[in-house]
Amino acid sequence: MTTDLEALGQAIKRAQYRNHRAMDAALRPVGISLVQWDALRAIARMPHASGHDLAVATFQSDQAFGTLAARLSDAGHITRTAGRGRRVEHSLTPSGEAALQAGHEIAVDVLEDLFAPLDEADRRNLATVLTALLADVH
């Protein structure tokens, strides 16, 4: 019997959607969304990165990331400073660092719930399979 690849793709999307909904709901008391928290994580990993680099890292268009960064700046979570040429560099503020840390603490519980049906061996296997699936992605 052949694996139904369309159903497999849908299952991956449903798991991702479930994770996103749960994370968004859990982050709400912190005052940030999953998209905002993901941007804070990217900025923390890549301090002083350009908007374009951060857009790529967060799977957004340059325009969408620019709008998101403006909202994060208005909220006091990041600073945006002029770099060389037209480049705008991004850094976390203390408020952004606090929101990022709160998000990490929340993510632990959300991800534990998401992966609760899998034992440790299944989790390792899933990580191995997904890593292999994404190995050639640039």
Region 117-131 average pLDDT? 96
Domains of the chain, earliest start first: 5-134 (1.10.10.10)
The reported pTM is: 0.87
- Dihedral (CA of 71, 76, 78, 81) sign: positive
Beta strands in the chain, from DSSP E residues, in sequence order: 78-82, 88-92
* Res. 28: pLDDT tops 90: yes
CA distance 108 to 78: 24
* Res. 138: pLDDT tops 70: no
Tens digits of per-residue pLDDT, 9-18?
999 999 999 9
CA distance 32 to 75: 10
What's the pLDDT at 45?
96
Tens digits of per-residue pLDDT, 35-51?
999 999 999 999 889 99
68 Cβ partners below 8 Å, 6+ apart? 35, 36, 39, 60
Top pLDDT among 2 and 21 is at 21
* Res. 106: pLDDT tops 90: yes
* Res. 93: pLDDT tops 80: yes
